[in-house]
Chain A
Amino acid sequence: MDKKNTSGSQGSNVGIGDFKTGNTQISSIGLGSCVAFILYDRKQKTGGLAHVMLPESNGRSERPAKFADTAVPHLIHEMEKSGSSRQNLSAYLVGGASMFQQFKGNLDIGKRNVIALKHCLDEHHIYLESEDIGGTSGRSVLFYPEDGGKICIRRADGKCYDL
Chain B
Amino acid sequence: MDINDQQLDMLREMGNIGASHAATSLSQMLMSEIEMTVPEAVVIDISDVNDVFSEEIAAMVVFEIQGEIQPAGYIVYHVPKLSAIRLTNTMLGSTDEDRELNELDESAIIEIGNIMISHFLDATAELLGVVMLPSPPMMTINMALAAFENILAQVAVDINEIILFKTELKSNDNDISSTIIMLPEEATLQEILRLLNNLITPEI
> Nearest Cβ in chain A — how far from B28, in angstroms?
27
The 8 Å CB contact of A62, one of B147, B148, B160, is: B160
In the complex the two chains form, is A140's CB within 8 Å of B55's CB?
yes
In the complex the two chains form, is A16's CB within 8 Å of B46's CB?
yes
CB of B140 closer than 8 Å to a CB of A: yes
CB of A4 closer than 8 Å to a CB of B: yes
> Nearest Cβ in chain A — how far from B191, in angstroms?
22
CB of A139 closer than 8 Å to a CB of B: yes
The docked-state distance in angstroms from the alpha carbon of A159 to that of B73 is 33
The docked-state distance in angstroms from the alpha carbon of A17 to that of B48 is 10
> Nearest Cβ in chain A — how far from B71, in angstroms?
10
> Nearest Cβ in chain B — how far from A95, in angstroms?
8
Q: Give the size of the chain A interface in residues (CB under 8 angstroms).
A: 39
CB of A81 closer than 8 Å to a CB of B: no
User: Which residues of A pack against B, CB within 8 Å?
Assistant: 2-4, 9, 13, 15-18, 29-34, 51, 53-54, 60, 62-63, 66, 97-103, 107, 109-110, 136-140, 154, 156
* 25 pairs, CB–CB < 8 Å, chain A vs chain B: A15-B47, A15-B49, A15-B50, A16-B46, A16-B50, A29-B143, A30-B50, A30-B53, A30-B54, A30-B144, A30-B149, A31-B149, A53-B149, A66-B46, A99-B147, A99-B150, A100-B147, A100-B150, A109-B153, A109-B154, A138-B143, A138-B146, A139-B143, A156-B57, A156-B142
